[in-house]
Structure 1
Amino acid sequence: MRLGKIIALAAAFLVFTGSAALAGPAYDNVMKDKKIRVGLMTDSIPGGFYNEKGEWGGFDYDIATEIAKRMGVDIERVQVNNKTRIAYVQQGRVDISVSNMTHTRERDKSVDFSITYFFDGQKVLAKKGQFKSVKDMVGKKIATMQGTTSEVNVKRALKEAGDPNPDQSVISFQKESECFQALQMGRVAGWSTDASILVGYSAKEPGKFELVGNFLAEEPYGIAMPQDDSALRDAVNAALQDMWKDGTYKTIYNKWYGPGTPFEMPLAGQIEMWP
């Protein structure tokens, strides 16, 4: 074998092994750096959003902050949206994504998830007094977010209600704020997504909007993280269970969704607990 070829093979080996060494499990890197990078939404009220003062906060924001605290590490918050919240986990740009994301079998092919940490369901928001059910909205335009489970579910619901062209009836946007703006301006008759988000946005104009009909689907939220990193998944799950056990979870929940808040919504489930 020529010397040049030997050197090239040696160099390739070093690059391969070096990359593998650097790639290590996310949990190991988090504990080594004492910092966890968390993907959070910025316009999902009240999960993760900027308020009128430009301050970042929300239910997911507080949950993520508490998880980092219980893991004994600092937190670096990274902005994500519906299109980037999974991609950033896959690319290693965030360690976990706490971004009001429904845990589905299809998404589970791309990332791993924690136990369910929030219990939601999909509904339709419309101007008050206009509709009683999705059946009343057949032939009307309904907004939703592109690439979400909400988009699939609302098309299915319209089809079941008798809409001959559900794909044309649904207008998909990139952001929650764009959906709400379309509803405010009358460009759509309704907006369909998770009830907690709809409640959050409708609180901007109290008494003007209402939730229509029954739930279109259950939406169990999970925290996304890299595939096959059981140590990270266990650490996040343990933090969530401990938060539930000592009452911290309910304190955070009541801060955003409890009685007397603009986003009041009864707690609809219980976090899975392990002995």
Structure 2
Amino acid sequence: MKMKNLKKLLALSLAFVLAIGVSACGSSTKDGGSDTSASGKEVYRTLDEIKKDGTINIGVFSDKNPFGYVDENGEYQGYDVYFADRLAKDLGVKVNYVSTEAANRIEYLQTGKVDVILANFTVTEERAEEVDFANPYMNVSLGVVSRDDNVITSLDNWNKDDSIIVISGTTAETYLTKNYPDIPLQKFDSYATAKEAFENGTSVAWANDNTEVIAFSLQNKGYTVGIPELGSADSIAPAVTKGNDTLLNWINDEITSLGEENFFHADYEATLADTYGMDYEDSLVVEGGKTE
């Protein structure tokens, strides 16, 4: 009996040691970042790891013209993409574009699917608890677009039978849920499906970044932005995984350096001027990370 008990004790001890070893091995990824599933820490690649690999993974929209979209040749284009190309060039690496939707932006950073998000990402206090934002490169506020035969100029005294279209995971969804909880929301995962639904008349209005709804009204006859500014003005900025300080600091230095050459005004003129004209340039562009 004593021998059997000793064998059981040794077997249990060995199993315990092996369990600890497996747990420890699962706490890191092949590129040195932490594995959220094992350790609860964020997954990311440092600046040096990205340089060593020779490729940076950048999350952008593929269906939000003129900020991030895929053209008829299958190439990524737009304001965010113009900026991303320059980041990769100055870092000395190739860029791998990862198509993202609004609701996936934080997840893609936290799971290490991308190194940087450049997908018209509005800075908010809630998001800043989950990702690290670099300095801004654009100003934005919310806006509401509606049809010419029923222009929405106010959200007060709303008809409870009407709904507003929003994109899941955007500041428009958050703002309306908090400030106008009685307004029914139609939520879509992508800009393409939201645009199609709005054009098909499923809702009386579409709330989104004012840059998006202004662009929609300019490109589509029969629509008016009756509310060009809803709530407070915000900033658009790159985002990296929480704690990835080496990459964050490099991007901030890069934005400062690019500001010295008026890079973001050049970006606007190359990618946004055809949509918005020149009247919006100085109000939308943030040069060198300085919002004032």
TM bucket normalised to smaller: 0.7 to 0.9
Structure-1 separation of matches of 2:124 and 2:172: 12
Tell me the TM-score normalised to structure 1 length.
Answer: 0.84
Larger CA Rg, structure 1 vs 2: 2
Q: Which residue identity lines up with residue 122 of structure 2 in the other structure?
A: T
Structure-1 separation of matches of 2:178 and 2:112: 34
Map 1:42-57 → 2, pairs under 5 A: 42-57=62-77
Asked if structure 2 preserves the Cα contact closer than 8 Å seen for 1:123 and 1:215, the reply is: yes
Q: Which residue identity lines up with residue 235 of structure 2 in the other structure?
A: P
Tell me the TM-score normalised to structure 2 length.
Answer: 0.80
- Could you tell me which residue of structure 2 aligns to residue 162 of structure 1? none
Instruction: Tell me if 1:177 matches 2:197.
Output: no
- Could you tell me which residue of structure 2 aligns to residue 120 of structure 1? 140
- Could you tell me which residue of structure 2 aligns to residue 9 of structure 1? 17
Structure-2 separation of matches of 1:76 and 1:53: 17
- Could you tell me which residue of structure 2 aligns to residue 86 of structure 1? 106
- Could you tell me which residue of structure 1 aligns to residue 286 of structure 2? 270
**What secondary structure sits across from 2:206 in the alignment?**
strand
Instruction: Tell me if 1:131 matches 2:151.
Output: yes
Structure-1 separation of matches of 2:242 and 2:204: 40
Asked if structure 1 preserves the Cα contact closer than 8 Å seen for 2:166 and 2:194, the reply is: yes
Alpha-carbon deviation of 1:147? 2.4
Asked if structure 1 preserves the Cα contact closer than 8 Å seen for 2:66 and 2:275, the reply is: no
Asked if structure 2 preserves the Cα contact closer than 8 Å seen for 1:134 and 1:157, the reply is: no
- Could you tell me which residue of structure 2 aligns to residue 40 of structure 1? 60
Instruction: Tell me if 1:65 matches 2:81.
Output: no
Asked if structure 2 preserves the Cα contact closer than 8 Å seen for 1:131 and 1:137, the reply is: no
Instruction: Tell me if 1:187 matches 2:202.
Output: yes
Alpha-carbon deviation of 1:3? 9.0
- Could you tell me which residue of structure 2 aligns to residue 226 of structure 1? 241
Instruction: Tell me if 1:211 matches 2:233.
Output: no
Structure-2 separation of matches of 1:130 and 1:60: 33
Task: Return closer, same or farther for 1:185/1:107 CA change in 2, 3 Å cut-off.
Answer: same
Task: Return closer, same or farther for 1:111/1:135 CA change in 2, 3 Å cut-off.
Answer: closer
Task: Return closer, same or farther for 1:200/1:14 CA change in 2, 3 Å cut-off.
Answer: same
Map 1:220-259 → 2, pairs under 5 A: 220-258=235-273
- Could you tell me which residue of structure 2 aligns to residue 148 of structure 1? 170
Q: Which residue identity lines up with residue 213 of structure 1 in the other structure?
A: I
Alpha-carbon deviation of 1:54? 3.9
5+ residue gaps, structure 2, are 1-8, 34-44
**What secondary structure sits across from 1:83 in the alignment?**
helix
Alpha-carbon deviation of 1:204? 3.5
- Residues 200-232 of structure 1: per-residue CA shift (max 9 Å, x gap): 333432x42221124113231121111112110
User: Alignment length, in residue pairs?
Assistant: 263
Asked if structure 2 preserves the Cα contact closer than 8 Å seen for 1:48 and 1:56, the reply is: yes
**What secondary structure sits across from 2:230 in the alignment?**
strand
Asked if structure 2 preserves the Cα contact closer than 8 Å seen for 1:46 and 1:263, the reply is: no
5+ residue gaps, structure 1, are 160-164
Cα root mean square deviation, aligned: 2.6
